[in-house]
Amino acid sequence: MTKTPASTAALQLADKKHHAHPFTDPKALAENGSRIISRGKGVEIWDNDGNKYLDGMAGLWCVNIGYGRNEIAERVKSQIEELCYYNSFFMSATPTQIELAETISSLTPEGLNHIFFGTSGSDANDTASRLVRHYWDLKGKPTKKTIISLIHAYHGSTITGASLGGWPAMHKMGSTLQAGYTHIMPPYWFEFGRNQSKEDFGLKAAQALEDAILLAGADNIAAFIAEPVMGAGGVIPAPDTYWPMVQEICKKHDVLLIADEVITGFGRTGEWFGSFTYNIKPDILNMAKGLSSGYAPISATAVSDDMYAVLSAGGEISHGFTYSGHPVCCAAALENIRIMKDEKIVEYVRDVAGPHFQNKLQEFADHPLVGEARGVGLLGALELVRDPKQGEKFAPEKRVAIRCVEKGFENGIIMRAIREVLEFSPPLIITTQEIDLLFDRARYCIDEVAKEEGIL
């Protein structure tokens, strides 16, 4: 018997009663009811009442190959039939885990050939944090424990992830910020460096890393973690001068470099990894989201040969999750990567979709509400300001970016807001026509907010 679909009102009521949501104000949820999303295909999703949206955020920066690919469903089904689960603890492995570890190693930057599996970006960052500290213990430098990261960065929601991240509200909730984390100025020219050239500011932001290392003493610093392009924190590509200097500083002071590629991995920047786009040579590279295009929860921590040689000589690695290398999630990831390769999705982002998307984004640069349009590949952001010439900001209570997002929902597109920044990260398979549609509608929404503010 086919089940009659539940009404939106009934779902909202049950949701309100029983479902505790992440990153949601329960009071607002109770007042307004949740938005129930029921179906997805390609770059589009439908809510429970049949309204269609072009998903300009690929879910949460993750559905890279688009919704509804049956091949993944088939591969997952056959994996469940063959072997639904087996662990990778105590010297065990499954063929699917091994195949995925080998496949990931073939895609990562040179020398990152040892893959530790998890199920989320957050746990990948916990893994990286434990491994770098363990590494320094084994190297006889047990004081090297502090990890430096960037203000505004998002690295996850576990205690370690939130401590690594640079979001004050997350530090405050539950007194989460642990000892052993330092946050420094990010390479965010629009907020921190508009009085100088981008090149000079890039050097200044990199210098902030060296200053922090020197202040604490290099003997106390284990690692620096950053995304090649900050994602959730506002889509912030660093000036060209930033990464080369950061790389040098890490080397000079014996500080390990962790690239958090949870968003930038798997084609988002027009390469398999953002580390290729910015010529970064990390000691650890974390990935999640695009690894399975969100079809299954899986993350991976790629560890360098040099680091792994030290870790391997250090006895048992006392770390791992029941679902590390879950065979079903590995199967979904393998099929996702096969699709990306066969359909040349990374090349499509690099040569077609990315350039078109960036051109369209730059058309907003002289909009009266836009202070900066920035991005790379299929990542984009618009910095909304009251007066672009003076850089005068809106008061946060104005909620201008959130109001644009709300108008987006009314007009069939999904964008995301952080502070006064509008963010875009569509599925990588988006066509150039769909990119035009996304930005045409975004412009309409931004114009509407500009009119409400008496600016247009």
- Strand-pair partners of 423: 381, 416
Q: Which stretch binds ligand PMP (CB under 6 A): 2-10, 103-111, 121-129, 316-324?
A: 121-129
3-state secondary structure of 90: coil
Scan residues 52-81 and list those touching ligand PMP (CB under 6 A): 60
Scan residues 308-367 and list those touching ligand PMP (CB under 6 A): none
Contact, 88 vs 324, CB < 8 A?
A: yes
| Dist. CA 5–CA 440, nearest whole Å | 33
290 binds ligand PMP (CB under 6 A): no
**Nearest to ligand PMP of 158, 220 (CB atom):** 158
- Strand-pair partners of 54: 44, 413
Other CB atoms within 10 A of residue 367 CB: 18
**Nearest to ligand PMP of 231, 377 (CB atom):** 231
Angle at 113 between CA 111 and CA 116, to 5 degrees: 135
Residue from the set 88, 120, 247, 301 that interacts with ligand PMP by CB under 6 A: 120
Alpha helices in 139-197, H assignment, sequence order:
159-164, 168-172, 189-192
227 binds ligand PMP (CB under 6 A): yes
163 binds ligand PMP (CB under 6 A): no
Output the smallest distance, CB 232 to ligand PMP, in A: 5
Residues whose CB is less than 8 angstroms from the CB of residue 178 and which lie 6 or more positions away in sequence, other chains included: 159, 160, 163
Q: Indicate the residue whose CB is closest to ligand PMP.
A: 121
Output the smallest distance, CB 141 to ligand PMP, in A: 27
Contact, 286 vs 312, CB < 8 A?
A: no
**Residue reference for tokens 């974390």:** 286
Scan residues 229-288 and list those touching ligand PMP (CB under 6 A): 231-232, 260, 262-263, 288
122 binds ligand PMP (CB under 6 A): yes
Question: Which tokens sit at 186?
Answer: 């990010």
**Nearest to ligand PMP of 369, 414 (CB atom):** 414
**Nearest to ligand PMP of 48, 120 (CB atom):** 120
154 binds ligand PMP (CB under 6 A): yes
**Nearest to ligand PMP of 154, 357 (CB atom):** 154
104 binds ligand PMP (CB under 6 A): no
| Dist. CA 205–CA 252, nearest whole Å | 17
Residue from the set 42, 109, 121, 408 that interacts with ligand PMP by CB under 6 A: 121
Other CB atoms within 10 A of residue 322 CB: 10
Q: Classify the phi-psi angles of 418: left when phi > 0, otherwise alpha if psi is within -120 to 50, otherwise beta.
A: beta
**Nearest to ligand PMP of 260, 372 (CB atom):** 260
Contacts with ligand PMP by CB under 6 A lie at 60, 120-122, 125, 154-157, 161, 227, 231-232, 260, 262-263, 288
